[in-house]
Amino acid sequence: MTEKINNDALMALKIAFSYMPKAIEVNKYEYGDDYQRVLDHIESVREILLINDVDPEEIDGEINPNSSPNSCY
């Protein structure tokens, strides 16, 4: 999929992504045999965000500005 999604769908995806675990947090101990599937889902969402010119690393600050740390760069 390389087409952009509408703004409402993009906002919903951003909100959902903000609740997803970070890829570094996903391991076999916590997620069992499903850990690779979880990593694949995270990567799929990241790809759609990038296609829509959204930096996945900046979403937490956009969705939850009061609970995310200030940028240091």
Whether pTM > 0.75 for this model: the answer is yes
Q: Give mean pLDDT, residues 4-18.
A: 94
Cβ-in-10-Å burial (0-12, 13-18, 19+) of 7 comes to exposed
What pLDDT, in 10s, does the model give residues 38-55?
999 999 999 999 999 999
What pLDDT, in 10s, does the model give residues 60-69?
888 888 875 6
Cβ-in-10-Å burial (0-12, 13-18, 19+) of 59 comes to buried
Residue 65: predicted pLDDT: 83
